[in-house]
Amino acid sequence: MIQKTLNEMARMAGGTVNNPGEFGNVTVTGVTIDTRKLEKGNLFVPFRGEHTDGHKFVAQAIEKGARAALWQKDVPNPPEDLPIILVDDPTAALQELARSYRDSLDVKVVGITGSNGKTTTKDMTASLLSLKYKVQKTEGNFNNHLGLPLTILRLEEDTEVAVLEMGMSSKGEIEFLTELARPNAVIITNIGESHLLDLGSREAIADAKLEIINGLQENGLIIFHGDEPLLQERLKGYKGTAQLKTFGASESNDLYPVSVKSMENGNMFVTNRSEQSFYLPVLGNHNILNALAAMLAAEFLGVPFNEMNDGFAGLKLTNMRMEMSEGAHGEKIINDAYNASPTSMNAAIDLVANLTGYSRKILVLGDMLELGPLEEEYHYKIGTSLEGGKIDYVFTYGKLSAAIAKGAKEVIDEDRVFAFFDKEQLSSELKKYVNNETIVLVKASRGMKLEEVVKALQE
């Protein structure tokens, strides 16, 4: 992670040290914006919000081990006896510090965006690249205007490749992130329905995701889902220096699967590139497509295809992404409760519907958020698309997901569909239907916190 003197950090962030004679040569290691995650030697960055002001915690942060802190110039009474960098705006200063530090590093960057699958693709790409390089990746969901700078500032000076996830909620956000990260290769996983509330249409979402190419370095690589017409149309006239590579299910793509065999905890697949079989220890055909994107990025940076099975074997996914566990009654639980959109929910349901080896299949589905004015219709269509012969029971949680239950009752017997507005009641009823031959899918947007249902099943 970044390690500089306070004078050096001030120059990089566009600020001034309050007492450079006394504090200018103090060495600072790493940056934090949260006193609960503070590590000894950190620079603490305070923010002013509607209900609190981080400047109130500067002295406390330094007492707990922070070496120094930023301080917004128009906030009165900066402490003269503590090592402080005075800045116009802490957010902008943090971003400038990250920009300057990134520019000082000899590191290759892979940037990843998309409506679904960003985090899983990030994990896969990092695992493949780790076969040849020292790799660091975005931790958790640190993928926004604060998280990405913090991720960059955590990079070690000898890190060779950084795999950086870039999220957004509105136009212009990914452009800012990519120009900060300056990637050598970018991946666009897909265009779904997430953020329709803010952007209004899938076309606008595609435009926003494509901002990622604006920060691409010369002679880079653009990897995108070739089965998505919105991406094909927009990149058809691309005249930059980057290569274009596509992945997808159809044979029109540069990389596609020619055979897939479902296993108990993953999939075997063969691509059009060779007869070699790859084992991906992750459930879901949609994750094979994510793997293809990761393979193209790894190949671009010099990892041979014939070695990639070793990278998949060491794959560790971020929590709550198709995470398999066992409940107290021996039931198998797929925890995919980190996020949800119609695209990702349909993919997860399709996975469960076609799994073999289980006598009972149960869906626990919660609200999908940020879908805009047609949100209820999207939920209703999830319900009506279910196959009654392949799904045994449906449990929904939340106001919007009541529309899933309503739709499900049109294709599944009503006595097999349950709608809840209380998680404890849902969990209590759900436990009556599970045994050691049951598979349970738990899926919803992050705000629904359906991992609490997973925990209840395990108790």
Report whether pLDDT(415) > 80. Answer: yes
Q: Are residues 68 and 145 in the same domain?
A: no
Provide the number of structural domains found in the chain: 3
Q: Are residues 114 and 260 in the same domain?
A: yes
Q: Are residues 262 and 160 in the same domain?
A: yes
Among 188, 171, 181, residue whose Cα is nearest residue 137: 181
Average pLDDT of the residues of the chain: 93
Residue 40: per-residue pLDDT: 94
Q: Are residues 353 and 396 in the same domain?
A: yes
Among 316-325, 357-366, 403-412, 443-452, name the one with the lowest average pLDDT.
316-325
Residue after which a domain boundary falls, among 78, 97, 116: 97
The answer to whether residue 23 sits within a structural domain is: yes
390: left (phi over 0), alpha (psi -120 to 50) or beta: alpha
Report the CATH number at residue 37: 3.40.1390.10
Q: What span, in angstroms and rounded, lies between the C-alpha atoms of 42 and 46?
A: 12
Q: Are residues 194 and 252 in the same domain?
A: yes
Provide the residue range defining the domain that includes 368.
323-458
Residue 446: per-residue pLDDT: 87
The answer to whether residue 329 sits within a structural domain is: yes
Q: Are residues 332 and 452 in the same domain?
A: yes
The answer to whether residue 11 sits within a structural domain is: yes
Residue after which a domain boundary falls, among 68, 97, 126: 97
The answer to whether residue 73 sits within a structural domain is: yes
The pLDDT tens digits for 221-268 are 999 999 999 999 999 989 999 999 999 999 999 999 999 998 878 899
Residue 320: per-residue pLDDT: 64
Q: Are residues 242 and 280 in the same domain?
A: yes
Residue 197: per-residue pLDDT: 66
Residue 135: per-residue pLDDT: 97
Report whether pLDDT(444) > 90. Answer: yes
CB-based burial label for 29 (10 Å; 0-12, 13-18, 19+)? middle
Q: Are residues 224 and 136 in the same domain?
A: yes
Q: Are residues 111 and 56 in the same domain?
A: no
Report the CATH number at residue 122: 3.40.1190.10
Q: Are residues 91 and 109 in the same domain?
A: no
Residue after which a domain boundary falls, among 313, 334, 366: 313
Share of the chain above pLDDT 90, in %: 78
Residue 283: per-residue pLDDT: 84
Report whether pLDDT(141) > 80. Answer: no
The answer to whether residue 231 sits within a structural domain is: yes
The answer to whether residue 318 sits within a structural domain is: no
Q: Are residues 241 and 142 in the same domain?
A: yes
The pLDDT tens digits for 1-17 are 999 999 999 999 999 99
What is the arrangement of strands in the sheet containing 221-225, beginning at the earlier edge strand? 135-137, 161-165, 108-113, 185-188, 221-225, 243-247
The pLDDT tens digits for 31-49 are 999 988 899 999 999 998 8
Q: What span, in angstroms and rounded, lies between the C-alpha atoms of 452 and 428?
A: 12
The pLDDT tens digits for 304-344 are 999 999 999 989 887 767 788 899 999 999 998 888 889 88
Q: Are residues 185 and 205 in the same domain?
A: yes
